[in-house]
Amino acid sequence: MTNLTEKLPSAGAVLFVQRPLWQRVLLSEYLVVLLCIVYFVAMIPIVPQIASLQTFQNILSDMLPLIVVALGQTVILIIAGVDLSMTAIIAMASVVGASVMTGTGGPLAGSPLATPAGILTMLGVGAAIGWFNGFCVAWLRMPPFMVTLATTMFFSGVAIWYVTLKSTTTSIANLPRSFVVIGQGKIYGIPHSLWVAIAVGVAIHLILTRTVFGRQLFAIGNNRVTSEVSGVPVARRVHMAFVISGLCAAIGSILYTGRLETGSPIIGANILLDIIGAAVIGGTSLSGGKGKVIWTVMGVLFLVLLDQSLKLMGLTLFMVFAIKGAVILAAAIADAARTRLSGR
């Protein structure tokens, strides 16, 4: 006989149903999906081009590298941290990797090993900076905001200085075609960058949902002290989270650099708020302990959709930044409200 208690809804489900409609909408996991649909439909009469195939292609192109980087930020937000150095990692990995691959004075110019060596170098740069950030935060107990802000300033400057040593221009060009196709090429009409984004997304999803490491990250974000008392190796887990973030930034740098065909010290310089905002808009909590890969993907979709629609409306770049900043601020306020409501 089926246990009667199995048919009864949980206390949390009953409480959710009893909430006012606006609270249920705010707490819903599908809020960002609803926002995307409503915003898209509302924009069609204003800018009909938003429903064109070309716009869809532009949205996908802008989404893919941002998804990869935002997923790394999601891992950090889950442990109640923040990584402000991701744009500096993107820039540093871009110029160092490009200097290895370039056909203009590069050590591997013309070699079939140029592209593999360049990619490994970029991943190594990302992992190394992530390792340093993690060491300072996890073992020296320094605030992640201060550590990653300092490394952002340092490596952004180092990237510019590095280019002056390796090139007579402001960037490093003449990259191998085998590398450029990673960011630009397609196979059977599907961009190579889509396969990269899918691979990273699946890997992060499996880490967060199918491993002890992932469950420990959520536990640390919910309550670090309790996690330490429970025997979770908090310092090692936090350290590894920053390494993952650095690797994601490096992979994003590979996609951005391949798409632009040049290693630049200012590549991705203006996307820091997009990186954090996409994760928060999707539902990842700034307070830690909450986040999903699909949430971040939908957050990126909404942010890129917003960006494309504003550009199609002919707004200036300053107005685009102002509106996107307001949306991200609204998302942060909504996150604070969700945290308070879910704690009741």
Q: Each residue of 292-325: pLDDT tens digit?
A: 999 999 999 999 999 999 989 988 888 888 988 8
Query: Would 6 be classed as within a structural domain?
Result: no
Query: Would 222 be classed as within a structural domain?
Result: yes
Query: Would 46 be classed as within a structural domain?
Result: no
Using the predicted structure, report yes or no on whether residue 206 has a pLDDT greater than 50. yes
Q: CATH number, domain at 331?
A: 1.10.3470
pTM: 0.91
Q: What percent of the chain has pLDDT over 90?
A: 68
Using the predicted structure, report yes or no on whether residue 184 has a pLDDT greater than 70. yes
Query: Would 33 be classed as within a structural domain?
Result: no
pLDDT of residue 148: 97
Give the mean pLDDT of 201-227: 95
pLDDT of residue 198: 96
Tell me the pLDDT band of 9, cut-offs 50, 70 and 90.
low
Enclosing domain of residue 129: 52-342
pLDDT of residue 4: 46
Mean pLDDT of the chain: 90
pLDDT of residue 17: 56
* Domains contained in the chain, number: 1
pLDDT greater at residue 42 or residue 23: 42
Q: Each residue of 227-272: pLDDT tens digit?
A: 999 999 999 999 999 999 999 999 999 999 999 999 999 998 889 9
Query: Would 21 be classed as within a structural domain?
Result: no
Q: What percent of the chain has pLDDT over 70?
A: 92
Query: Would 108 be classed as within a structural domain?
Result: yes
Give the mean pLDDT of 170-182: 93
pLDDT of residue 328: 86
Give the mean pLDDT of 188-212: 94
Query: Would 233 be classed as within a structural domain?
Result: yes
The answer to whether 242 and 248 are in contact (CB under 8 A) is no
Using the predicted structure, report yes or no on whether residue 144 has a pLDDT greater than 60. yes
Using the predicted structure, report yes or no on whether residue 135 has a pLDDT greater than 50. yes
pLDDT of residue 31: 81
Tell me the pLDDT band of 343, cut-offs 50, 70 and 90.
low
Give the mean pLDDT of 120-143: 97
Give the mean pLDDT of 172-191: 90
Query: Would 67 be classed as within a structural domain?
Result: yes
- Choice among 132-141, 192-201, 209-218, 331-340 with the minimum mean pLDDT: 331-340
Give the mean pLDDT of 134-138: 97
Using the predicted structure, report yes or no on whether residue 1 has a pLDDT greater than 50. no
Q: Each residue of 88-110: pLDDT tens digit?
A: 999 999 999 999 999 888 888 88
